[in-house]
Amino acid sequence: MNTNKRYSPEVRERAVRLVAEQQGEYSSRWSAICSIAEKIG
């Protein structure tokens, strides 16, 4: 399965932006990624 096609470029851009903006609220970058991934789906 090609995961690069799973999300539109807009959704991927938004996810990256959210991680960058909210990273300070989490103990690590990975924690931020996991939390935002759950919200995006």
pTM value is 0.71
The confidence score (pLDDT) of residue 4 equals 54
The Cα–Cα gap between 18 and 38 comes to 12
pLDDT score recorded for residue 7: 84
Category of 2 on φ-ψ map: left (φ > 0), alpha (ψ -120 to 50) or beta: beta
Predicted local distance difference test score (pLDDT) of residue 6: 80
What whole-number distance in Å separates Cα of residue 39 and Cα of residue 19? 12
Q: For each of the chain's 41 residues, which pLDDT tens digit applies?
A: 455 568 889 999 999 999 999 999 999 999 999 999 998 88
Measured torsion, CA atoms of residues 13, 30, 22, 18, in degrees rounded to the nearest 10? 10
Element (H, E) at 3: none
